[in-house]
Structure 1
């Protein structure tokens, strides 16, 4: 059986942190740190463990942040080029997941004096990501933090460049929502533009995820960015933009699809078939046919409209295929959808609906009955 992920915060890691704090600071109270950090550790989940270790750092040092900050930075591993798999609490210093509790200390106490604490987060992110800890600084000091992030975007260290993008994501999972960027993401665009051709996929992926966050509230803006960025784009940038637009493409956003060369489809003689009755757990055969009226690229998806508890239908898009059709070509597609029980959705018997969308537009729908 696999080790629970929460056990990444374990007594060995905590004792290793204590050893390094004691090594760099005579003001560190090792006994207090260990007692606080280890109390009831087995009963805590991962994030609660990180928070408890963070509180233990506070308890074991004098109250002023400057003392704690200096000790935490001094205790870190001198190497700044490690892969995540290499990081940990080593003889040479602290890196990896142990950095998350330290970054929490900075986020909790550092907002009144942002500049030295942003610099501390830069140091920490080179040993582990500070993407969560930097978010309160974007919230409370947006101009200063964005100016700092623009500088980070030019940093020679890949982890620092990624922090500029990942830490500023409007909707970073597990992180606080940056409501100002949800409402107005325009301050992010110069930052993301500067990072779009970063030599590291690690950074470009973060840029794509940031744009995907923006797209959830400002879809037209991201569609326009996609159209602009795809002009004479390298393969790497094309992949970035496609990943950034994944939600828009799935939703059939016309502007995003047109940016990728999928304008409104020109089709005739459209036909769609599926069984009138489908039993949960069975295979659902689907057949689609249409005639292309012109030479065109076709992005074909199918949509299942599931019955919900309130009796209303809710659509879910499933990817199907992409076709370069010629004028007069009869496009014929067939597939089988496994209508299986899934843990993320409760199925309800009754009238459901199957649709096919081409280049984001629904071109055919048929009803069917689901039995349990």
Structure 2
């Protein structure tokens, strides 16, 4: 149980209450659903499992509860899905398809296209991509013409090369551009939900095939606002790295004609869990307006005098000739599951249009008991 006042754990989204909801959905959908068998199997050993382990555990617990005839089981899952109350419950029932349906790819893909509307089938489609990529990608290409934005998003999200939390697909690892026809079909999609997936998919490719991505996006017309948005967000990793071609694709030059009148970080010394504030005063020295992309890079202290750098987005703006701009941003310096801080000097660079324009620093102190 979650202690009083503590934040709930992600895994608790698939706790006992969720099991009861799934069981109720099955019972309401068909008398053939074995509620007792499901609850017994799903409850056994649930507690220590992470959220995605629970997804797989629940999927396996559905096996004794559903009809053993696979098409009948899919029909029952379709009837259950609208009665679920959270997307992760739907993820668990799509996982049943992933674990039981690879012998019937066509029926399974059709079911995933139906079920994705209630949560997402992006994880469940990975085994089918691994087993028969050509056939599965063909179905996903057809999904790009669906009138349902959830299905169109699944076409892009399901074949992302670096989909978080998902199993890696060997073919996508070998060639992360296999989903290119799907991305082409969705590059001006009217739904923000779909556009975000397309941009994230392209950003995955940027990490391994940056030249391919830059060449492909250079050939896209950005007359449509939807495509313009996708291009900017797809290039975010390369823009943070100051890649000149990426900056050019969003109408920004490499470097800028500006003077930095002030770049400061406060406080100069802080404890873990406290915020820093960055302030920058910029003045244009150009004879015409400039598009600026302002980022900052923190060099995190590491043991043994080493550092590890990470770039953060700050602001995009148009600066008229001779004009000034004052920027301010706050960031709390605290530990995450993916980043652990160490005491010492942390340098910070001010980056404008891919070039370092100024530097500052703060010192982090960590005492025993700091959050």
TM-score strictly above 0.5:
yes
Contact 1:292 1:326 in 2 (8 A): no
1:151 to 124, 138, 142: 142
- Give 1:325-336 correspondences, 5 Å limit: 325=319, 329=322
The match for 1:197 is: 188
The match for 1:347 among 342, 362, 365 is 342
Cα offset for 1:168? Answer: 1.1
CA deviations over 1:72-104 (Å, ceiling 9, x no partner) = 335444xxxxxxxxx626xxxxx8543323221
TM normalised by structure 1 equals 0.80
Report what 1:13 is aligned to: 21
> Partners of 2:70 and 2:151 in 1: how far apart?
23
Pick one of 266, 270, 284 that aligns with 1:280.
Answer: 270
Per mean C-alpha deviation after superposition, the further-off stretch among 233-242 and 279-288 is 279-288
Do structure 1's residue 132 and structure 2's residue 133 form an aligned pair? no
Report SS of the residue matched to 2:147: coil
In structure 2, what is the equivalent of residue 252 of structure 1?
Answer: 242
Report which of the two structures shows the higher radius of gyration computed on alpha carbons: 1
- Match of 1:102? 93
CA-CA distance at 1:133 after TM superposition:
0.3
Cα 1:322/1:120, change in 2 over 3 Å: closer
Match of 1:51 in 2: 56
Q: Which range moves more in the overlay, 5-14 or 308-317?
A: 5-14
Aligned length: 350
Residues in 2 aligned to 1:15 and 1:283: alpha-carbon distance in whole angstroms: 48
CA RMSD of aligned residues (A): 3.2
Residue pair 1:280, 1:339 contacting (<8 A) in 2 also: no
> CA, structure 1 residues 187+294, in 2 after alignment: closer, same or farther (shift >3 Å)?
farther
- In the TM superposition, residue 71 of structure 1 has moved relative to its aligned partner by 3.4
Cα distance in structure 1, aligned partners of 2:257 and 2:213: 28
Q: Is the 8 A contact 1:252 1:360 kept in 2?
A: yes
Q: Which residue of 1 aligns with 2:251?
A: 261
- Do the aligned partners of residues 185 and 233 (structure 1) sit closer, same or farther apart at CA in structure 2, a change above 3 Å counting? farther
Q: For the Cα contact (< 8 Å) 1:150–1:191, is it kept in 2?
A: yes
Change (3 A) 1:12 1:224: same
User: What residue number does 1:60 align with?
Assistant: 65
Q: Using the alignment, how far apart are the partners of 1:270 and 1:188 within structure 2?
A: 43
Matches within 5 A, 1:171-320: 171-229=162-220, 231-267=221-257, 274=264, 278-281=268-271, 286-287=279-280, 292-295=285-288, 296-320=290-314
User: Contact between 1:14 and 1:34, CA under 8 Å: does it hold in 2?
Assistant: no
Tell me, yes or no, if the aligned pair for 1:33 and 1:60 is still in contact at 8 Å. yes
Show structure 2 runs of 5+ residues with no match. 366-371
Q: Which runs of 4+ in 1 moved over 6 A?
A: 268-272
